[in-house]
Amino acid sequence: MKRNPGAAAPALRGVGLPLIGPGVSRPPIRYGEGRAVDFQAFLQRQMQGKQFAELWEETRPSFDAGALLIKIRAELDLTQNELAERVGVKRSYISRIESGDGNPTVRTLGRILSSVGFRLKLEAYGEEASRF
């Protein structure tokens, strides 16, 4: 789909974008004739809206799970198909998790990680986490 070079960048849907979150850097996304959008700057602007910020926090675990799978697959040089075959799930399920659209159970995420020699470790962080 061709974009009008003067048009604004597409709006963030709230779900479905891979590798986004705290500490994750992305190269600028290019639209039209060389126009670049710095994702972190875009996200920062969007977080100023209460509704977006609430949705972002609500869906963050799904994005974190997806980012983790992408990172592990890249390190192991595995395709989504290869990972799906090892786990015994469809490639589309791996894709949904990686895009942030999937919401795997802890058990399923553990099974996926186990299939490539990793174990799942849950960790709480934030202001109240220091109590644990």
Q: How many domains does the chain have?
A: 1
Whether residue 59 is contained in a domain is answered as yes
Whether residue 18 is contained in a domain is answered as no
Residue 77 Cα distances to 71, 72, 102, 113, 119, angstroms: 10, 8, 22, 15, 18
Q: How many C-beta atoms lie closer than 10 Å to residue 132's C-beta? A: 7
Kindly give the confidence (pLDDT) of every residue in the chain, 132 residues in length, as a single tens digit, with 9 standing for 90 and above. Answer: 443 444 333 333 333 333 444 444 444 444 444 555 677 788 888 889 999 889 888 888 888 899 999 999 999 999 999 999 999 999 999 999 998 888 899 999 999 999 999 999 988 877 776 666
Range of the domain at 40: 29-114
| CATH number of the domain residue 40 falls in | 1.10.260.40
What whole-number distance in Å separates Cα of residue 65 and Cα of residue 102? 9
Rounded to two decimals, the pTM is 0.62
Whether residue 44 is contained in a domain is answered as yes
Whether residue 37 is contained in a domain is answered as yes
Whether residue 33 is contained in a domain is answered as yes
